[in-house]
C-alpha cells in the first residue's frame, strides 16, 4: 500500500511540474508578442476621428465617453 501511495504522489508531482513548465513556456511565448505594432497587409481602419471643430466638440465626446465607455 505504501508503494501505491508513493507512486500516486510521484505521478501527481510529475504532472504538476510538467503543467508548471508548460504555463511558463506559454507565458514566454506571448510575452514577446507585439500586439501594438502597425498591422500589415489589407488591414481596414475601424474608426475615423473627425478633425473639424474639435474645440467645440469636447462636450459631446465627454458625454459619449460616459454613456458608452469609449
Q: For residue range 43-64, what is the model confidence (pLDDT) as tens digits?
A: 777 766 665 555 557 787 788 8
Is 70 inside any structural domain? no
End-to-end CA distance of the chain: 62
Is 49 inside any structural domain? no
Residue-wise pLDDT for 3-42, tens only, equals: 999 999 999 999 999 999 999 999 988 887 777 777 778 8
Q: What are the CA-CA distances from residue 10 to residues 6, 14, 15, 20, 24 (Å)?
A: 6, 6, 9, 15, 21
Is 52 inside any structural domain? no
Q: Extract the C-alpha cell encoding 16.
A: 504538476
pLDDT of res. 55: 57
Q: How many domains does the chain have?
A: 1
Decide: 64 and 70 in contact? Cβ < 8 Å.
yes
Q: Extract the C-alpha cell encoding 50.
A: 473627425
Amino acid at each position: 500500500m505504501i508503494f501505491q501511495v508513493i507512486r500516486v504522489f510521484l505521478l501527481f508531482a510529475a504532472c504538476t511540474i510538467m503543467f508548471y513548465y508548460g504555463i511558463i513556456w506559454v507565458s514566454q511565448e506571448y510575452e514577446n508578442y507585439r500586439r501594438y505594432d502597425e498591422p500589415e497587409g489589407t488591414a481596414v481602419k475601424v474608426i475615423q476621428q473627425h478633425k473639424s471643430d474639435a474645440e467645440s466638440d469636447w462636450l459631446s465626446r465627454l458625454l459619449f465617453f460616459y454613456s458608452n465607455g469609449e
